[in-house]
Amino acid sequence: MPAGLKGHTHKVGNANDMTITISIVEDDVPLRSIYAKWLKQAEGFRLLSQYGDGMQASLALPQEQPDVVLMDINLPGLNGVECVRQLKAKLPATQFIMITVYEDPERIFNALAAGATGYLLKDTAREELLAALRDVRRGGSPMSIGIARKVVQCFQKPPPAAPEAELQKLSAREQEVLELVARGYLLKEICEALKLSQHTVDTYLRRIYEKLHVHSRAQAAALYAEMKPQLAALPR
């Protein structure tokens, strides 16, 4: 193992520990360093390990058992999609988020089919990345907005006669929460804008996901963007 490549590799804590342990698999050293810095500075996260290629990661991660892995899709040797495919069978509880510069549907679907839970672009901002890590730990499937829109376009098939029917399922407050999500508000900002507790906003988000048949804030925002004209016309 190259000196300085790996961070801490032994998981500590117990079942009640709420800290999210993260491993990074990324061959771009400057970018990997940026992600590592963000995680070390953020509350609620612990950087478990770092790897520069898929082969090293595939050998070590089953022993480390991180909560979430940030996986580059275009790695030297064993690529990120195949690495996830091999690791998912050994780490069913670990969530894999692909990080990439590619937005084409084939790469997205290959990664999701291999077992990835989320798909983010490498230019994702710090707060959005951290929010995605928290989201995937809570059971979401975070995706960058543009990627989520592609997924929605391919998989979401709203009733042809009345696509606004899905939106009519949302209460007035749920519509307000969805609008703020689509405008890029963070969870804390939504709470402040609507004067609601985090628990209440989380409840609204779960209801929105269920009613719109999506799995993350990014997917909900992408669907909102597609249906915004119908939403504006709905009675409140």
Q: What is the pLDDT of residues 198-210, one digit of tens each?
A: 889 888 888 888 8
pLDDT at 162 over 60: no
Single-letter code of the amino acid located at 26: E
- Complete DSSP assignment for 44-61: TEEEEEEESSHHHHHHHH
Answering whether pTM is above 0.75, one says no
Structure-token pair, residue 7: 């961070």
**Stretch 78-104: mean pLDDT, rounded?**
90
Round the average pLDDT of the chain to a whole number and report it. Answer: 81
- CATH code for the structural domain at 20-142: 3.40.50.2300
CA distance to 72, 142, 151, 232, per residue, from 175 (Å) = 35, 20, 22, 10
| Among 50, 47, 53, CA closest to 19 | 47
Q: What is the pLDDT of residue 98?
A: 92
Q: What is the pLDDT of residue 225?
A: 76
For residue 235, what pLDDT band results from cuts at 50, 70 and 90? low
What is the tens place of the pLDDT at every residue in 172-184? 899 899 888 888 8
Q: Give residue limits of the domains in the chain.
A: 20-142, 160-233
Q: What is the pLDDT of residue 165?
A: 59
What is the tens place of the pLDDT at every residue in 16-26? 358 999 999 99
Cα torsion through 87, 45, 140, 233, rounded to 10: -150
Q: What is the pLDDT of residue 16?
A: 38
Q: What is the pLDDT of residue 9?
A: 37
Fold of the domain spanning 160-233 = Arc Repressor Mutant, subunit A (1.10.10)
For residue 187, what pLDDT band results from cuts at 50, 70 and 90? confident
For residue 159, what pLDDT band results from cuts at 50, 70 and 90? very low
Q: Which residue has the tokens 């804008």?
A: 193
156 vs 142, more confident: 142
Q: What is the pLDDT of residue 161?
A: 36
Yes or no: say if 31 and 75 are a contact pair by the CB < 8 Å rule. Answer: no
74 vs 70, more confident: 70
